């Protein structure tokens, strides 16, 4: 009989809930969990198999030597690091539009969204495929230009706050197009985060999500 593959899931845990989440994870396994500090977070390995890796969206917010640790203490350290006040730029883009915001402490300081359609993929071939690719490329370029102009305005509106990194969300290719010719081109890029067609309410949600500790759970 072939064993079924281990299940995996991804969670975003608010800083204030991290210590409790780790405590419940360990308790559910009768305490038989090895905790290790790794370069980018905390790795929990139950004796029964599987693992849970806790990371920050901002790798610069974590500093620890690797080795066996007390899970609760490191969870508290991660939660504290996640809550450090750091301004970030958020850029989200999908084929239907884009959103740009400067966020800090879970709040949006300045933001704007826009609509701009970019066609999806097609199964057509030959000249039709080439015409489609040119049209899609032109649409993506137009989105990048429009969103880039908005990005400049949002950065100016947020002054004197200056983001130290950019959290990217949505279609990575479109987001890269927005950033590559912008004043934020050299900022460290964090993520990616999942998002639907960006709307103003999504930017408020992303302002909170950038603070979350990101947990990847592999079940035995």
Average pLDDT over residues 56-66: 65
Percent of the chain scoring above 70 in pLDDT = 82
> What band does 46 get if pLDDT is binned at 50, 70 and 90?
very high
State the CATH architecture for 88-209.
2-Layer Sandwich (3.30)
- Rounded to an integer, what is the distance from CA 150 to the centroid of its chain? 21
Question: Is residue 1 over pLDDT 60?
Answer: no
Mean pLDDT, the chain, integer: 86
Question: Is residue 40 over pLDDT 80?
Answer: no
Sorted by sequence, the CB contacts under 8 Å of residue 166 that are 6+ apart come out as 88, 89, 90, 91, 179, 184, 187, 188, 189, 190
Q: Which two tokens stand for residue 130?
A: 């080439």
CB 137 within 8 A of CB 61: no
- pLDDT score, position 33: 95
- pLDDT score, position 206: 96
For the stretch 116-168, pLDDT in tens is 655 555 555 554 566 655 565 566 678 788 888 999 999 999 999 999 999 99
Q: Starting at the edge strand that comes first in sequence, how are the strands of the sheet with 166-170 ordered? A: 107-115, 97-104, 88-94, 166-170, 189-193
Question: Is residue 45 over pLDDT 90?
Answer: yes
For the stretch 70-89, pLDDT in tens is 999 989 989 998 888 999 99
Sorted by where each begins, the domain ranges of the chain are 8-84+213-218, 88-209
For the stretch 182-209, pLDDT in tens is 999 999 999 899 998 899 999 999 999 9
Question: Is residue 67 over pLDDT 80?
Answer: no
Q: What is the 3-state secondary structure (H, E, C) of 71-115?
A: HHHHHHHHHHHHCCCCCEEEEEEECCEEEEEEEECCEEEEEEEEE
Average pLDDT over residues 29-41: 89
């Amino acid at each position: 009989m072939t064993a079924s593959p281990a299940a995996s899931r991804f969670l975003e845990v608010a800083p204030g809930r991290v210590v409790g989440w780790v405590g419940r994870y360990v308790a559910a396994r009768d305490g038989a969990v090895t905790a290790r500090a790794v370069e980018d977070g905390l790795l929990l390995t139950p004796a029964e198999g599987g693992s849970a890796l806790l990371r920050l969206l901002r790798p610069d917010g974590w500093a620890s030597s690797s080795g066996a640790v007390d899970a609760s203490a490191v969870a508290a350290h991660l939660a504290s690091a996640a809550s450090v006040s750091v301004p970030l730029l958020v850029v989200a883009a999908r084929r239907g539009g884009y959103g740009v915001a400067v966020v800090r402490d879970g709040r949006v300081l300045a933001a704007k969204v826009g609509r701009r359609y970019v066609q999806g993929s097609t199964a057509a071939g030959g000249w039709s495929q080439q015409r489609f690719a040119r049209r899609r490329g032109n649409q993506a370029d137009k989105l990048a230009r429009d969103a880039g102009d908005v990005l400049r305005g949002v950065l100016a509106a947020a002054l004197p706050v200056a983001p130290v990194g950019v959290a990217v969300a949505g279609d990575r290719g479109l987001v890269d197009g927005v950033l590559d010719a912008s004043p934020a081109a050299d900022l460290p890029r964090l993520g990616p985060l999942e998002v639907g067609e960006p709307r103003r309410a999504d930017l408020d949600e992303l302002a909170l999500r950038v603070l979350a500790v990101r947990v990847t759970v592999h079940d035995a």
